[in-house]
């Protein structure tokens, strides 16, 4: 369960960092290559530092699985 929640957090964080303004422009221009690139860049990004920062601010363990 902890790993599942961890994966949801990672995926959600990656969805949040998608450059939606650029994505919308490329979609409107029907530039599927660049639109895919915008999404791929976000989903290949290392969001671990972002998750650690959020968890630190919330006062919860940085690595929930290790804490368990």
Give domain limits for the chain. 2-67
Q: Tell me the pLDDT tens digit for each residue of 23-46.
A: 999 999 999 999 999 999 999 999
pLDDT for residue 38:
97
Distances in whole angstroms, Cα of residue 1 to Cα of each of 14, 16, 58, 65, 68: 20, 23, 20, 10, 11
Band of pLDDT at residue 12, cut at 50, 70 and 90: very high
**Which of left, alpha, beta for 61 (phi over 0: left; psi -120 to 50: alpha)?**
beta
Q: What angle do CA 36, 15, 57 make, to 5 degrees?
A: 150
Which residue, among 34, 33, 37, 54, has the nearest Cα to 45 in the 3D structure? 37
């Amino acid at each position: 369960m902890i790993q599942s929640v961890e994966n949801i957090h990672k995926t959600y964080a990656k969805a949040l960092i998608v450059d939606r303004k650029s994505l919308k422009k490329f979609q409107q221009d029907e530039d599927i290559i660049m639109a895919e690139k915008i999404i791929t860049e976000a989903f290949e990004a290392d969001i671990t530092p972002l998750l650690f920062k959020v968890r630190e601010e919330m006062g919860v363990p940085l690595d929930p699985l290790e804490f368990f």
